[in-house]
């Protein structure tokens, strides 16, 4: 599992946010487009791509995309 691919997959769940915004240090909860629907899409993407089931707390407790990546990696 690579961080750059994870960020690319994460960014793919957003329709109106420029891809250049997404880095390991992006605090995704602060993005204008962030919503509970996007959170569900991220959880679904993680399950489809990485065969990892995220809980709501996993998404809420991660501060950055890098934090979420580390959470997913730890569950693999």
Domain ranges of the chain: 3-75
Q: Using one digit for the tens of pLDDT, what is the confidence trace for 8-44? A: 999 999 999 999 999 999 999 999 999 999 999 999 9
Q: Using one digit for the tens of pLDDT, what is the confidence trace for 42-64? A: 999 999 999 999 999 999 999 99
Buried/exposed 53-73: b ≥16 CB within 10 Å, e otherwise: ebeeebbeebebbbbbbebbe
CA distance 75 to 25: 20
Task: Please state the pTM of the whole predicted model.
Answer: 0.95
CA distance 15 to 53: 23
The whole-angstrom distance between residue 59's C-alpha and the CA centroid of its chain comes to 8
Question: Dihedral, CA atoms, 57, 34, 40, 45, nearest 10 degrees?
Answer: -100
Homologous superfamily (CATH) for 3-75: ACP-like (1.10.1200.10)
């Amino acid at each position: 599992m690579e961080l750059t691919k994870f960020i690319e997959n994460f960014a793919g769940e957003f329709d109106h946010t420029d891809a250049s915004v997404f880095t390991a240090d992006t605090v995704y909860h602060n993005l204008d487009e962030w919503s509970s629907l996007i959170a569900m899409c991220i959880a679904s993407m993680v399950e489809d791509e990485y065969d990892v089931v995220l809980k709501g707390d996993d998404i809420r407790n991660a501060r950055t995309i890098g934090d979420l990546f580390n959470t997913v990696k730890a569950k693999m």
